[in-house]
Structure 1
Amino acid sequence: MKIRFWGVRGSISTPITAAQIQSKIVAVVSRISVRDLESENARQNFIANLPEYLYGTIGGNTACLEITNENRDHIILDAGTGIRMCGKQYTKNQNEVFHLLFSHFHWDHIQGLPFFDPAYKPDTVLNIYSNYPNMRRFLKEQMQPPFFPVPIESLTKQIIWHDIKDSVPFTIGGMQIMTKAMFHPGGSHSYLFIENGKRFIYATDVELRQIDFDRTEENIAFFENTDVLVLDAQYTVEETAQKEGWGHSAFCYAIDFAVFWHIKHLYLFHHEPMYDDKKVHTILKSAQWYSDYVCGGKVTVHLAIEGQEIHL
């Protein structure tokens, strides 16, 4: 399977500001020496060795991932603002079939759906999956006046609504999928995907609690020995203490969780909208240090970044 990040921010979309761009330019210019300008190779080496937070950006769109399985099905996780650009790659295609899976229905996970271009094409088939039986009403209400000028009835007539249940597996193109409820105000459901022995978990908007570390049969079946875990790690420890009950986790707790369940790769996700690229990368460095300290680096820690792809 191939996983691509289209939106990685939490709570609200966060466009990079003019001041942040200017700060990056100043930081880059301050690093340049005469030797770095002597040749094309020198210039390329200079750019290649810039810190990641200067050469690029984490991205400002809210939650959206795309999975392409072995059957080449289009599986989209959540419809945050990132789904807009996801849809642009399919605007010229015909008779596409999409599978849209929702973790929950907070604004930052649904507000991109009205801007998903393929959904307006009459030949598009749109399968929508959720643990919430009222999903149709939730999505309809955000697309009616005064909130949006185009009603949900303008979307393809080929919408198929799938009411799924926790711990009851279902399949898309041979890929096995299962959901699990986790703590978040109003609820949120994580997804497990299994294909060819590879395991991927999408666990956004999660405030980890002791129950998530209990070695119950359900937890073992869902979490144990997963290859890649994308997990909410919006807060620092200090923020978690101040925002208990808000429904998000600290990066160090995410690492403790990954170590406990023998996760191979952990992707920090749902980045705090108040943090710029430098701050998020600083958190990554702290997380990598903590992983080395608690488990000798057995869990490889990454940042979820827009445009990034994972191949399993």
Structure 2
Amino acid sequence: MKLRMWGTRGSLPRAITHDTFVNLVDSYAKRAEKAGLSTISEFRNALRDGDLGRPLVYGGNTSCNEIIFKNHRFFVDMGTGFADASSEVMAQGRTEFTVFMTHLHWDHIMGLPFFVPIYIPGTKLVIYHVHPHAPEFIKIQFNGINFPVKWEELGATVEFRKIKLYDKLQFDDLTVSPLALDHPGGSFGYRFDASGCSLLIGVDGEYKRITPEALGKDLPYYQDLDLLVFDGQYEMDELASRYDWGHCSPPIGVDLAMREGIRNIIMTHHDPRASEAKEERMLQQAMNHCQKQLEFHKDLWVSLGQPEGPRIQLAYDGLEFDLTRLPPRHQLPKYRKNP
């Protein structure tokens, strides 16, 4: 099972302005000087190979993730990253697509009008959703005013399938399970399990419920988990002024992963105004927090065969994470039980 991230910004797409680009080049040039690089050729090769840091930029498109398992490919959300996926899926000759919707805020649906296959007859798009009004609020984009093409003019067949919270869907050997997140208007995460690998898409979520008791029915979805894609939009000191905005901070994701034995965390849904420097500062804060908390959970992480604790990284457009390459998961200690 593999994760591919097509869009990792939240709220709004983020363009790289002239000033931003100049500042990035200057930053990486300084890194090159410190590394002893003295020619343009060496600098270019270091950038291409990732020797000066990878990625060079974090995010651009809004939320869209793709889960790949054998012949199955599932998208989670249809942000502007969904539009970018068009070229690849058309080159592959694909004519059937499956999407799971977390929720219906604009940044998670605005890519659909630009997903080229929906204009091609013979194409089929199936949209799974928990939110009862998903068809209405997705179709509203195609009213001829917000977007020039009307819904009935689409060439593809689009089918909406409403699913119940906590019900499991089976696609051959892969299981998909929806769970509840904390977000205005309602948002739902999805856990994917296949061939001993487990992945949870946990955006958009404020994670007001963090203790085992508060998580309740949602707690098991965070357990025995290989990878959590977590909503890390804000720094901790920003959260107080953004209560009930529906987004979280990396250290809270670290606390959850540390306690529940989540082996890997990818922080995503980056704030549209956050610079690369801020994102890297947030990553360092999360890693520092992890080290401080590790001593309180040492036995758990030793038993998981990962004594250094959860591995943390920042999402970026184009990131791929192959879960099949992870070392075998050790069994959780017997004393851990669900509440």
* Number of the residue aligned with 1:37: 38
Which is further off, 272-281 or 156-165?
156-165
SS at match of 2:266: strand
* Number of the residue aligned with 2:317: 306
CA positional deviation for 1:234: 0.6
Which is further off, 219-228 or 152-161?
152-161
CA positional deviation for 1:251: 1.1
Distance 1:221 1:103 in 2: 19
* Number of the residue aligned with 2:174: 175
CA positional deviation for 1:214: 2.1
Distance 1:7 1:46 in 2: 22
Distance 2:32 2:92 in 1: 45
Distance 1:31 1:237 in 2: 28
Distance 2:125 2:205 in 1: 27
Which is further off, 163-172 or 152-161?
152-161
Distance 1:186 1:206 in 2: 11
Does residue 292 of structure 2 align to residue 290 of structure 1? no
Which is further off, 258-267 or 21-30?
21-30
Q: Is the CA contact (8 Å cut-off) linking 2:207 and 2:247 kept in structure 1?
A: yes
Distance 1:160 1:196 in 2: 28
Which is further off, 274-283 or 189-198?
274-283
* Number of the residue aligned with 1:5: 5
Alignment of 1:1-312 (within 5 A): 1-33=1-33, 36-37=37-38, 44=45, 48-52=50-54, 56-70=56-70, 72-94=71-93, 96-210=95-209, 213-214=212-213, 218-295=217-294, 297-312=308-323
Q: Is the CA contact (8 Å cut-off) linking 2:131 and 2:186 kept in structure 1?
A: no
Q: Is the CA contact (8 Å cut-off) linking 2:227 and 2:265 kept in structure 1?
A: yes
Which is further off, 286-295 or 36-45?
36-45
CA positional deviation for 1:57: 1.0
Distance 1:191 1:102 in 2: 9
Q: Which amino acid aligns with 1:137?
A: E
Q: Is the CA contact (8 Å cut-off) linking 1:73 and 1:98 kept in structure 2?
A: no
Q: Which amino acid aligns with 1:171?
A: Q
Distance 1:260 1:126 in 2: 38
| 1:53-82 Cα distance to aligned partner (Å, 9 max, x none) | xx6211211000011112x22200100011
Q: Which amino acid aligns with 2:319?
A: Q
Q: Which amino acid aligns with 1:301?
A: I
Distance 1:56 1:86 in 2: 20
Distance 1:13 1:68 in 2: 24
Q: Which amino acid aligns with 2:274?
A: Y
> Identity over the aligned pairs, expressed in percent?
29
Q: Is the CA contact (8 Å cut-off) linking 2:32 and 2:52 kept in structure 1?
A: no
CA positional deviation for 1:45: 5.1
Q: Is the CA contact (8 Å cut-off) linking 2:205 and 2:246 kept in structure 1?
A: yes
SS at match of 1:37: coil
CA positional deviation for 1:223: 1.2
CA positional deviation for 1:116: 0.6
Q: Which amino acid aligns with 1:49?
A: D
Q: Which amino acid aligns with 1:3?
A: L
CA positional deviation for 1:173: 3.8
Distance 2:98 2:187 in 1: 18
Aligned in 2, Cα 1:212/1:134: closer, same or farther, shift over 3 Å? farther
Q: How well do the aligned residues superpose, as a CA RMSD in angstroms?
A: 2.3
Distance 2:91 2:142 in 1: 24
Aligned in 2, Cα 1:261/1:148: closer, same or farther, shift over 3 Å? same
CA positional deviation for 1:92: 4.0
Q: Which amino acid aligns with 1:36?
A: L
CA positional deviation for 1:111: 0.4
Distance 1:106 1:43 in 2: 39
Runs (5+) with no aligned partner, structure 2 = 296-307, 324-339
Distance 1:231 1:241 in 2: 19
Which is further off, 2-11 or 117-126?
117-126
Q: Is the CA contact (8 Å cut-off) linking 1:200 and 1:226 kept in structure 2?
A: yes
Aligned in 2, Cα 1:153/1:29: closer, same or farther, shift over 3 Å? same
Q: How many residues align?
A: 309
Aligned in 2, Cα 1:271/1:45: closer, same or farther, shift over 3 Å? closer
CA positional deviation for 1:272: 0.9
CA positional deviation for 1:3: 0.8
| 1:196-223 Cα distance to aligned partner (Å, 9 max, x none) | 1211000101011236532876334311
Q: Is the CA contact (8 Å cut-off) linking 1:94 and 1:124 kept in structure 2?
A: no
Runs (5+) with no aligned partner, structure 1 = none
